[in-house]
Amino acid sequence: MPRGGQIDTFLPTATLPQLELSDLGWTDFFDGRFAAHEADGLRPGRVLSQEKLLYLVHDGKAELAAELSGRFRHDAEQHGGFPAVGDWVAFKPHSEDHAIIHALLPRRTAISRKVPGAETAEQVIAANIDTVFLVAGLDQEFSPRRIERYVAAMLGSGATPVVVLNKTDICPDTAAAVGQLGPISAMVAVLQASAAAGTGLDAIRSYVRPGETVAFVGSSGVGKSTIINRLLGTERQQTGEVSKAVGKGRHVTTRRELIPIPGGGLLMDTPGLRELQLWGDESNVEGAFEDIEALARECRFRDCRHELEPGCAVRAALETGTLTPERLHNFEKMQRELRFLAKRQHWAKMKKHQPRPPGSDSGDDE
């Protein structure tokens, strides 16, 4: 691949010090899975960032700009399976800072959603994540239902979701905000922080253990990059003013990026999500609404729709206030979405649907 232009701007100016593969998140899980590639003379590297079909890979010694081999690309176009940020790949070095990726290693965990738009395909937002911080701002954008949705969407990922309520400095009553989360706050850890005032950061930092990867996910403007800068102790990530007119962030971060911290752990910054279309099956979502599932088991009729049936425990809980109508509505909406997704997946399979390459999904990261 000729040097210059795109690649030069893609390669960061300051390269990282030498790292062990374990510093980058390599574990026994990958050892056995890499053996066959090692026999082929390939080397392992982790994808730190991606720009269309160009990947920035770190192998412990250096960062390399990498492209997919023709065969890999062809297979991925036919069957899906493009590398995502956080993935481990098997590559062949081409020159000092350029490589060809020949294979993708299986993922320990994967945070996925349906690609934005009409297409029925999975998009892996982040691979091999240990903890996913669902960041929300305690400002006028605060939405307990959105947090509930994010938690439910993460349960099937294999990563541990942790809610971070940021901007406590501008919230007059944080206890009330936590209260609005309802049963969610008993299911996952809920941290409070102010990246601006520098409070609550130690609790976040305690999840960033050597060799572990944490990702920051959430709407634009909630303070993901600001928190990351505080954790790093430098203004590495660009952050932005929230537009007063719209009350929304301006999507300052434009691509996913994995940042190894000298001394341990890796942080992933992501662009603000506008929508998180669900990908997975109903059982994942049910896990986030165990209280409603338990109530439904108490209904007199097994197929109770919680409408006009007598002996309905769900309606009884709504009347006493132990269950809020908003939470029930959110659950039912997510169930409907996943049922619809299952139908679409079925149709897509019948149509022998072909996924498109990454990078053409400008929709996320709006």
Ligand X SMILES: Nc1nc2c(ncn2[C@@H]2O[C@H](COP(=O)(O)OP(=O)(O)OP(=O)(O)O)[C@@H](O)[C@H]2O)c(=O)[nH]1
What residue ranges bind ligand X (CB under 6 A)?
Answer: 166-167, 169-170, 194-196, 220-226, 239-242, 249, 251-253, 271-272
Instruction: Choose which of 304, 317, 328, 338 interacts with Zn ion (CB under 5 A).
Output: 304
Contact call for residue 292 and Zn ion (CB under 5 A)? no
Please, which residue, 60 or 221, has the CB nearer to Mg ion?
221
Site string for Mg ion, 247-276 (x = CB under 5 A): -----xx-----------------------
Please, which residue, 189 or 196, has the CB nearer to ligand X?
196
Please, which residue, 111 or 304, has the CB nearer to Zn ion?
304
- Region binding Zn ion by CB under 5 A among candidate stretches 16-24, 295-303, 324-332, 353-361: 295-303
Instruction: Choose which of 65, 111, 299, 334 interacts with Zn ion (CB under 5 A).
Output: 299
86 binds, among Zn ion, Mg ion, ligand X, none (CB under 5 to 8 A by kind): none
Instruction: Choose which of 48, 312, 334, 341 interacts with Zn ion (CB under 5 A).
Output: 312
21 binds, among Zn ion, ligand X, Mg ion, none (CB under 5 to 8 A by kind): none
HEC secondary structure over the chain: CCCCCHHHHHCCCCCCCCCCHHHHCCCHHHHHHHHHHHHCCCEEEEEEEEECCEEEEECCCCEEEEEECHHHHHHHHHHCCCCCCCCEEEEEEEECCEEEEEEECCCCCEEEEECCCCCCCEEEEEECCCEEEEEEECCCCCCHHHHHHHHHHHCCCCCEEEEEEECHHHCCCHHHHHHHCCCHHHHCEEEECECCCCECHHHHHCCCCCCCEEEEECCCCCCHHHHHHHHHCCCCCCCCCCECCCCECCCCCCCCEEEECCCCCEEEECCCCCCCCCCCCHHHHHHCCHHHHHHHHHCCCCCCCCCCCCCCHHHHHHHHCCCCHHHHHHHHHHHHHHHHHHHHHHHHHHCCCCCCCCCCCCCCCC
Please, which residue, 99 or 252, has the CB nearer to ligand X?
252
Contact call for residue 314 and Zn ion (CB under 5 A)? yes
Q: In angstroms, give the least distance from the CB of 191 to Mg ion.
A: 18
Contact residues for Mg ion, defined by CB under 5 A: 224-225, 252-253
Interacting residue ranges for Zn ion, rule: CB under 5 A: 299, 304, 306, 312, 314
